[in-house]
Amino acid sequence: MTSPSSSAFRVGLLGHGTVGSAFHALLEERAEAIAASVGLRPELSGVLTRGRGDFDDIVERSDLVVELMGGLDPAYEHVMRAIRAGRHVVTANKQLLSHHGEELYAAAREHGVQLRFEAAVCGVVPVIRVIHETLAAAHIQRVHGIVNGTTNFILSEMTTTGASYEDALAEAQRLGYAEADPTDDVSGRDAAAKMAILARLAFGAPVHIDHVPYEGIENLSAEDIAYARELGLSLKLVGSAERVDGGIAVRVFPTFLYAQHPLAAVNGSFNAVTIESPAITEITLSGPGAGGPRRPRRCSATWCRR
Ligand code: HSE
């Protein structure tokens, strides 16, 4: 087995679609800055796609394996084999973690490697790290949030421009927010997978996606949107995970929110999560939850107007 270089950190990439190729470009662009910050220079050791690369060879030549293929097969087998080979793994695969999280966390512990998955929930919003590390000592009571960018975009478009559900969904697909098959987005299943992952972290108890009841936005009508607007409410797809009667309850459902609610003004493909604990009262994290890099929005705060 090749021994890891002392100055290079070898990264094997599984998957080179929209997310994989964006990661590849960013890794090369930021390699020097990362080296200056952590003392190890990340280098791509190989890329596995359907048409190129050899999995065993890539694992052999990597210190870290990054899984960005999505889906369960062959992602589960690849991630498990990489962990068992003693490689750290980073994955953005919410389906994988919400189905097989327990086996994967146990294998990572057994083999003394890290399994990291910040990008699996809420895009670039660092909610995993905050729940798992920053708030590790807090007794989290409840987590709720907008965790699917596609549905938030659709509901925002229908509300602000009067777009039809079909047109808004087509636009979300064009902008790269939706999954290849958007059924998981609009049915609430994608949000259910993400809430299962957050609940597992927040409460330390196994939560499988099959135990998360969910309802999506397919059956919402223009009348529902108009009704919300008339009453000054926001209609959002909300995921909720909370301690209830000695157990935990996790679910996803469309919800009317009053205008002052921290999630009410989260629009477009943005996501947001509110975490409640007696130790911190509550904090809300928000940011882009779907799609690739984009131009920064023009700042509308008074302090940055020119
Ligand atoms: N389709 C997902 C969403 C992508 O819309 O939130 C990010 O997980």
Overall pTM surpassing 0.75 (yes/no): yes
Query: What number of CA atoms fall less than 13 Å from residue 166's CA on the CB side?
Result: 0
Pocket test for ligand 1, best of 94, 122, 148 (most atoms within 8 A of CB): 148
In the prediction, which pLDDT does 20 show? Answer: 94
236 is catalytic: no
Whether the Cβ atoms of residue 148 and residue 241 lie closer than 8 Å to each other: no
Asked if the model's pLDDT at residue 296 lies above 80, the reply is no
- Domain 127-288 is classified in which CATH homologous superfamily? Dihydrodipicolinate Reductase; domain 2 (3.30.360.10)
Pocket test for ligand 1, best of 98, 177, 269 (most atoms within 8 A of CB): 177
pLDDT tens per residue, range 187-241: 999 999 999 999 999 999 999 999 999 999 999 998 999 999 999 999 999 999 9
Return d(Cα 115, Cα 240) in angstroms, integer.
25
The residue among 238, 263, 260 whose CA lies nearest residue 251 is: 238
What is the mean pLDDT of the segment spanning 109-117? 98
CA of 129 to the centre of ligand 1 (A): 19
Helix, strand, or coil here: 286?
Answer: strand
| Domain ranges across the chain | 7-120, 127-288
Instruction: Dig out the tokens for 239 from the structure.
Output: 């995921």
In the prediction, which pLDDT does 294 show? Answer: 66
The residue among 9, 92, 16 whose CA lies nearest residue 48 is: 16
Residue 287, judged by CB atoms within 10 A of its CB (0-12, 13-18, 19+), counts as middle
- Domain 7-120 is classified in which CATH homologous superfamily? NAD(P)-binding Rossmann-like Domain (3.40.50.720)
- Identify the active-site residue in 16, 189, 194, 261: 194
